[in-house]
Amino acid sequence: MKKLKRSARLVEMTQYLLFRPHTLIPLTTFAERYSSAKSSISEDLAIIKEVFEMEGLGDLQTLAGAAGGVKFIPRVPKAKSLGFIQDICRQLEQPERILPGGYMYMSDLLGRPMVLNEIGKMFATAFSGRDIDVVMTVETKGIPMAYAVATHLNLPVVIVRRDNRVTEGSAVSINYVSGSNKRIQTMSLSRRALKEESRVLIIDDFMRAGGTIHGMMDLLQEFRATVKGVGVFVESDEVEEHLVDEYVSLARLSGVDSKTRQVKVVPGNYFDEEEVGED
Amino acid sequence: MKKLKRSARLVEMTQYLLFRPHTLIPLTTFAERYSSAKSSISEDLAIIKEVFEMEGLGDLQTLAGAAGGVKFIPRVPKAKSLGFIQDICRQLEQPERILPGGYMYMSDLLGRPMVLNEIGKMFATAFSGRDIDVVMTVETKGIPMAYAVATHLNLPVVIVRRDNRVTEGSAVSINYVSGSNKRIQTMSLSRRALKEESRVLIIDDFMRAGGTIHGMMDLLQEFRATVKGVGVFVESDEVEEHLVDEYVSLARLSGVDSKTRQVKVVPGNYFDEEEVGED
């Protein structure tokens, strides 16, 4: 690449870092890329770091030494996320979202890239220090969200199927009992989709009793994998007890009245003072 | 926001534009945001525009006049995409990917955010001028890809289900015949997921005879919607005739030998000279 002025270099480095979260980039990469001295690159990075912090985009971590470099860690301040979630809660309280059985229509919200991106950043912030190998979800509605989280953590996504499709090769299946309606259901995961002993972050859009997530945990045992975290977009407190103890929720549904279609949605435990769901 | 120096302003504007593709941003937004003169903002934008073009990230379109502003259109040059796709083709040719029935395992590739991001940019480039309202796919494996495309086009995603789940409300269902194995299958779309007369971009991961995509087109007729484009990641030429005439493919599968597990994968019609699939 031809030698760039500082102004052009800043634009170039900003985009380069933003598209490579959680990736260590040696300073020599930038120095060679722009035919610039490492000292100039360090000055550029200091400017970028300041703006990223000011904007609540995340941290630029600098690692010194021979194996050193710079790493962009997306991290959004909780105060900034809270305003966003409060707005989402108000939208979720719209009476026309209440479906038979106390379910809630939210595919419109979860179909918007901007919303998913914000949710992804929140979970990436919540789970950023946990040494995770892979993000896992079960089809269907949690998939875009899991992908958004994985993008900000720079991790692959693994999708658990509700049946065993031919296009996935040999698979491990388990039966599980859905917590709320006590029905026996099946889920399966392709053998080759997940390495043994992986460290897994489970993401799902909705949790009532937690039967589905509990099922994913059982399935993970078959792969000798470790659950490093559970993140749900909306939890319902319409149950006496959750089958899952530790989880991070972004919103909490309570008092669904299917008749009057009234519902209350408040920010989830991610915003609690006591940091519920944190290891 | 406090007054920023040009260097910090460039970092800030770069991230602001990258996260808001296909969105018109009035110059006054930037001028007020940074307490700067519009003339300075215009100079900044000229620098950003040059770097974005040089890097093959896309265009910064400037619209003059009272309703004017600047818009970031992600657009990656075909020459740059071709190298990426050739690498993907080599990976798809690995013999262990061949599954019974001539299917191909590619969930690992389609689970990687970086790969999905590149695929998303290609389809966003292919369909960028088409006046689309929504990106549609059918569960399951096409979902992350549809979401990646939608992110770069700044459009919502709509997911067609293979059954009628309770959490989606009233839905329209159709039966369709899978082109390759002639089985009758069902797909359904929630009534409220898609406005009547929407302009739709269909995205899917794999197309053999095209039965599933043809089914989505039939389903769209029930919503009086218009298909503005069809994009498939991998098409198979193992069929005599496709049920879908116009589509853009990124890779083409031919000569699958289930016995020897040999397969040939080449770049799709998106890279053809004659621009097949273009309106």
Res A11 pLDDT > 70: yes
The reported pLDDT for the residue numbered B58 is: 97
Q: Average of pLDDT values for A72-98?
A: 96
The reported pLDDT for the residue numbered A156 is: 98
Residues 52-91 of A with CB under 8 A from B: 52, 55, 57
pLDDT bucket at B1, cuts 50 / 70 / 90: low
Q: Average of pLDDT values for A94-102?
A: 84
Residues 202-231 of A with CB under 8 A from B: 206
* Residue with the two structure tokens 């789940």: B165
- What's at A39, amino acid-wise? S
Return d(Cα A88, Cα A84) in angstroms, integer. 6
Q: Mean pLDDT score of chain B, rounded to an integer? A: 91
Return d(Cα A275, Cα A258) in angstroms, integer. 32
Return d(Cα A267, Cα A256) in angstroms, integer. 16
Residues 148-177 of A with CB under 8 A from B: 148, 150-151, 154-159, 161, 165-169
Written as six digits, the tokens of B217 are 């087109």
Res A260 pLDDT > 90: no
Using the Cβ of B144 and the Cβ atoms of chain A, whether some distance falls under 8 Å is answered with: yes
Q: Looking at A29-43, A92-106, A157-171, B260-274, which range is the least confident one?
A: A157-171
**DSSP-derived 3-state class of residue B120:** helix
- Other C-beta atoms lying within 10 Å of the C-beta of residue A131: 8
Q: Cβ separation of B99 and A7 shorter than 8 Å?
A: no
Q: Which of B140, B190, B198, B212 to mutate to test the interface with A (most CBs of A within 10 A)?
A: B140
Give which of A258, A259, A261, A212 is closest to A235, Cα–Cα: A212
Q: Looking at A190-194, A199-203, A273-277, which range is the least confident one?
A: A273-277
The reported pLDDT for the residue numbered B259 is: 80
CA-based diameter of chain B, in Å?
Answer: 68
Res A182 pLDDT > 60: yes
Written as six digits, the tokens of A115 are 């919303």
Residue of chain A whose Cα is closest to the Cα of B6: A7
pLDDT bucket at B277, cuts 50 / 70 / 90: very low
**DSSP-derived 3-state class of residue A56:** coil
Chain A partners of B140 at a C-beta cutoff of 8 Å? 139-140, 143, 159, 161, 165
Res B178 pLDDT > 90: no
Using the Cβ of A103 and the Cβ atoms of chain B, whether some distance falls under 8 Å is answered with: yes
The reported pLDDT for the residue numbered A279 is: 41
Tens digit of pLDDT for each residue in A12-67?
999 999 999 999 999 999 999 999 999 999 999 999 999 999 999 999 999 888 77
* Residue with the two structure tokens 């388990």: A174
Res A166 pLDDT > 70: no
Cβ contact A169:A190 at 8 Å: yes
Q: Cβ separation of A99 and B167 shorter than 8 Å?
A: yes
Written as six digits, the tokens of A227 are 């659950």
Chain A partners of B165 at a C-beta cutoff of 8 Å? 140
Residue of chain B whose Cα is closest to the Cα of A12: B51
In order of A210, B6, B16, B29, the CA distances from B33 in angstroms are: 44, 13, 11, 6
**Side by side, which strands form the sheet with A199-207?**
A157-160, A134-138, A199-207, A226-236, A248-257, A262-267
The reported pLDDT for the residue numbered B179 is: 65
Tens digit of pLDDT for each residue in B72-92?
999 999 999 999 999 999 999
Written as six digits, the tokens of A89 are 């809660």
Computed on alpha carbons and rounded to an integer, the radius of gyration of chain B in Å comes to 21
Return d(Cα A69, Cα A55) in angstroms, integer. 22
Q: Cβ separation of A48 and B193 shorter than 8 Å?
A: no
Res A278 pLDDT > 60: no
Q: Which of B30, B50, B51 to mutate to test the interface with A (most CBs of A within 10 A)?
A: B51
Give which of B187, B173, B117, B174 is closest to B147, Cα–Cα: B117
Cβ contact A159:A190 at 8 Å: no
In order of A68, B176, B182, B190, B248, the CA distances from B185 in angstroms are: 55, 5, 9, 17, 25
pLDDT bucket at A2, cuts 50 / 70 / 90: low
Q: Cβ separation of A14 and B10 shorter than 8 Å?
A: yes
Using the Cβ of A7 and the Cβ atoms of chain B, whether some distance falls under 8 Å is answered with: yes
Res B262 pLDDT > 50: yes
* CA end-to-end span of chain B: 45
Cβ contact B174:B188 at 8 Å: yes
Bridge-based pairing of strands A248-257 and A226-236 is: parallel
Q: What percent of chain B has pLDDT over 90?
A: 77
Chain A partners of B19 at a C-beta cutoff of 8 Å? 117
Highest mean pLDDT (candidates A259-273, B38-52, B163-177): B38-52
